Amino acid sequence: MWCELSQANFFDEYQIEGVSPEDNEICLEVAPENLSRALKTVQNAKAVKVKLTKKHCPCLTIAAELPTLSSIGRIVTHDVPVDVIPRRLWHEFKEPSMPDFDVSIFLPHLKTMKNVVDRMKNLSNFLVIEASQNGQMNLKIETDLVSVTTHFKDLGNPPWGDVASQEGRASQSRNPDTMAEARVDIRRLQQFLMGQQVQPSKAMCNIVHHKVVHLILLHEDMSLQYFIPAVVQSG
Amino acid sequence: MPLSTQSQADDEQYVLVASLDNARNLSNILKAITFKDHAIFNATPNGLKVTVEDSKCLQANAFIQADIFQEFTIREDVVGFQVNLTVLLDCLNIFGGSIVPGLSTALRMCYKGYGYPLTLFLEEGGVVTVCKINTQEPEELIDFEFCSANVTNKVILLSESLREPFSELDTTSEVLEITMSPDQPYFRLSTFGNSGNAHYDYPKDSEMMELFRCTTTQTNRYKMSLLKPSTKALALSSKVSVRTDSRGFLSLQYLVRNDCGQVCFVEYYCCPDEEVE
């Protein structure tokens, strides 16, 4: 999962001194539960300050003044331990490149998709996502007991999908009716859908046939990318 | 409506086609009898009967008459099959359970006959879901031989009067005892649990009692585990009729109104617990 937030939209004050003037970046590894727990405790604060500090180890120090019934506020500080990633390893954490997809399509209304996937999860562990360049997407599950297919139509395809000649596929002009599909673990798709509280301004899905599903969400001030690898058909 | 664009030729293959503008008119009533995985569907020109049984001692039936459906076509006298009820309910609710005003899921249920799956076409907001649920040969149903002629005691109560006691029933009690009598206590529910004995009395002239016809004093005990699931049917219904026959067999009949105000029935039959003297 890859998420990008534009700092100007979130922070009143933002200061950073990176590794060097040429590499003005810092790369940190943190356990998400620790960070989210700390942020949860300060969610009612009027202002929150996040600093990279060095206590017994490098930490993200989250400090906030919480409102109380009396006139004196309560100060809460969390030190969330982090690992600083050295520059020589930064290449391992680069934004994954857009895969050479077979189909790129806009996602349907996420709430509808979530409702359907939640029910499908009761019936199967795996789900097949297939889509075509003419705006059709199907979600399919199949078990011994039941098969269920949900058909979405007229979803539209992002303009970059029209580029017929992708690397290695220049000879193949894509038939808009052809479906690209990938079989994924339903829980991964459900996790992605659970996190969407607000309908994004743009939601898209790229499918590399039998390989990976790449989901992209664009909000006004944030972008989110989610890669789900395809699982091999068993049996 | 997209579902009706299915060709006529397809229809001729089906022995049963049933359509509803609002799938909840089927799924809600099925919830009242979902306490086991499997249900037996029995369709006749009169409509649909869905049965769930437990340990050969309890039978729950849901009746949905043909005129509840927007379309009900049957090509044989009787069409019967068995399906996994939990799977069916997940399919009927595939678009989620949220009640958005004006937005309902349309349903077209089709069956080709023995060996074929039950096919559901569900549509909401232009999105279509097709479900194919495997069917099995229907198991033979118990005939409780409960007939009106042998009914000794009958009462009809407003469901709201029973809801609280039923939801509070002491489940540490192995049995639910029902006493019906022309004399005091008239109609009594009793439990015998770890925290002691509890009795719920309904006098015959209570405003909750719509009908009171008891001829003999009868006390019967029924396994709590068998009757507890009927709480769901009670929750959906507006009134319930409680009848016992000379053998002590129990019949509970619930009047359920669906989203459109149409009436459907759910009934539970239960054998008395054998340990009673």
In order of their start, the domains of chain B are 16-136 (3.70.10.10), 151-270 (3.70.10.10)
Helices A110-123 and A186-194: angle between axes, nearest 10 degrees: 150
Angle, CA A217 vertex, CA A216 and CA A221 arms, to 5°:
130
Cβ–Cβ gap A145/B98 under 8 Å: no
Chain A neighbors of B130, CB-CB under 8 A:
148-149, 151
CB pairs under 8 A between A and B: 61
Residues of A in contact with B84 (CB under 8 A): 145-146
Q: Which of B218, B219, B221 is nearest to B274 (CA)?
A: B221
User: Could you give the 3-state DSSP secondary structure of residue B192?
Assistant: strand
pLDDT digits (tens, 9 = 90+) for B62-119: 999 999 999 999 999 999 999 999 999 999 999 986 656 677 899 999 999 999 999 9
**8 A C-beta contact, residue A58 and residue A52:** yes
Q: For A203, which DSSP code?
A: E
Give B166-187 pLDDT, tens digit per residue: 888 888 899 999 999 999 999 9
DSSP-derived pairing of the beta strands B187-193 and B175-180: antiparallel
Whole-number pLDDT of residue B101: 64
Tell me whether residues A119 and B87 touch, CB distance under 8 A. Answer: no
Type and span of the H or E element at A110: helix A110-123
Which residues in chain A have Cβ-Cβ distances shorter than 8 Å to B128? 150-151
SS3 B79: strand
The nearest alpha carbon in chain A to B129 belongs to A150
pTM of the model: 0.84
User: Are A115 and B98 within 8 A, CB to CB?
Assistant: yes
Mean per-residue pLDDT of chain B: 91
Contacting residues of B for A152, CB less than 8 Å apart: 127
Q: Are B123 and B3 in contact (CB under 8 A)?
A: yes
Q: Tell me if chain B has a CB within 8 Å of the CB of A194.
A: no
CB contact under 8 A, A146 and B130: no
Q: What is the length of chain B?
A: 277
Q: What percent of chain B has pLDDT over 70?
A: 93
Q: How confident is the model at residue B11 (pLDDT cuts 50, 70, 90)?
A: low
Dist. CA B239–CA B250, nearest whole Å: 16
Highest average pLDDT, of A217-226, B109-118, B192-201, comes from B109-118
The answer to whether B39 and B88 have CB atoms below 8 angstroms apart is: yes
Question: CA–CA separation, B63 vs B50, rounded Å?
Answer: 7
Host H or E run for residue B168: helix B159-168
- Determine the residue type at B211: L
A234 pLDDT tier (thresholds 50, 70, 90): low
ipTM exceeds 0.90:
no
| Per-residue pLDDT band at A1 (split at 50, 70, 90) | confident
CB A144 within 8 A of CB A213: no
Structure confidence by residue, pLDDT tens digits, A167-185:
444 434 568 889 999 999 9
Q: What is the mean pLDDT of residues A191-218?
A: 87
Average pLDDT over residues B233-237: 94
* Partner A contacted by B89 (CB < 8 A): no
CB-CB neighbors (< 8 A) of A122 in chain B? 86, 90
**Residue in B96, B98, B131 closest to A148 by CB:** B131
- pLDDT, residue B260, reads 85
Contact between chains at B94 and A144 (C-beta distance less than 8 A): no
